[in-house]
Amino acid sequence: MPFIQAEDRNQINLLPNSLEDFVSEENPVRVIDAYVDSLNLEELGFKIYSGKNAGQKPYRREDLLKLYIYCYMNRIRSSRMMEIEATRNIEVMWLISKITPDHGTLSAFMKNNKGAIKQLFKEFTLMLKGFGLIDGQLIAIDGTKIKASSAKNKHFNENIIKKKLDYYESKIENYISDFLNTTENDDMKQKITEKIECYQERIKQLNNIKEDLKDKGIKQVCLTDPDAKSMKNNGKFEVCYNMQAAVDSKHKLFVDYDVVNDVNDQGQLSNMVDKAKQVLKEEEITVLADTGYYNMSEIIDAFDERTEILVKVKKEKRKSLKMVLIKQTFNMIVLMIFIRVHWAMF
């Protein structure tokens, strides 16, 4: 036959294959298994169940954490997708010994252990530092916009509310005009009445949102992601989060991160430098940042005797600094001429 023959799926083997046969010795999944088994999850803050309570037996926290880390490494965020992976992925079956937790269990695990998972990532960074993979001499800080899980029509600010109110009011006027011109068709009148009531309800909702913005003293709100804001991302405005990262130069590994809703990076330099210092402890570090972080008050807050801050100056600031230097140089030349003339007179 000219083709490679596949194995018959109904073939029964005398010695069946085990899951161990499908996971190579160099597979990264073995690292996850060994790492989680070496942890004391209770000390890290994970909620550990004794198993003495009545009802269904709980899953081991270690197994759920292994599944979470594996899916995190493979860009799987949804608890429903994690549930599916546990039933079809050979590596996952090997890692968690073929247990099949449902999405509700996985979601509750992540929700109840947020602080512990953050602490785990910090401990992992310290372990990498102990292995010499992070030296902490040169740290780069930068931010990137992460699009929120929000529909465009769920974000409101004063301008958007005004445009929608004007649009709804114009639609109501048009429907009222149609209603007055419709004299005999009762079904059409009923449909027009329902449309008018629908737009009136939308106007009421928008006015409530407008009052809520005024009461809270904020300029915008996203109904599905209250912490997200409209930011410029890839040349257009989108509802996003601002993800900050501090990265070590040796192997480009993350030192720490933070997710904020500042529309720019100007107020995040000292925050990220402090986070890097918490990981790197007493070591002297040099921090690099682009012009988006140029904020003199932030630079002053971040700078100390063991921290060197290198931030690219903005163009307009560079021009002003150049003018100051020219002015200082001119004043110095005038002073030197004055001193020489004054000295020659004596």
Across residues 133-152, what is the average pLDDT?
86
The pLDDT mean for the chain works out to 84
Q: How confident is the model at residue 101, as a pLDDT?
A: 93
Q: How confident is the model at residue 105, as a pLDDT?
A: 92
The SS3 of residue 59 is coil
pLDDT in tens, 107-140: 999 999 999 998 898 888 888 888 889 988 899 9
Q: How confident is the model at residue 323, as a pLDDT?
A: 57
The SS3 of residue 276 is helix
Asked which of 5-14, 63-72, 180-189, 296-305 is least confident by mean pLDDT, the reply is 180-189
Label residue 81 by pLDDT band (50, 70, 90): very high
Q: How confident is the model at residue 168, as a pLDDT?
A: 87
Residues 96 and 78: their CA atoms lie apart, in Å, by 18
pLDDT in tens, 216-260: 888 888 888 788 888 888 878 888 899 999 999 999 999 999 999
- Half-sphere exposure in the Cβ direction for 55 (13 Å, CA): 6
Helical (H) or strand (E) element with 45: none
The pLDDT > 70 percentage for the chain reads 88
Q: How confident is the model at residue 238, as a pLDDT?
A: 83
Q: How confident is the model at residue 67, as a pLDDT?
A: 95
User: What are 129's two structure tokens?
Assistant: 């530092």
Backbone angles phi, psi at 258, to 5 degrees: -155, 150
Label residue 195 by pLDDT band (50, 70, 90): confident
Q: How confident is the model at residue 68, as a pLDDT?
A: 94
**Burial of residue 49, with CB atoms counted within 10 A of its CB: 0-12 exposed, 13-18 middle, 19 or more buried:** exposed
Asked which of 33-47, 52-66, 118-132 is least confident by mean pLDDT, the reply is 52-66
Give the pTM: 0.70
Label residue 152 by pLDDT band (50, 70, 90): confident
Q: Is the dihedral of CA 31, 37, 38, 40 positive or negative?
A: positive
Across residues 59-68, what is the average pLDDT?
93
Across residues 85-96, what is the average pLDDT?
94
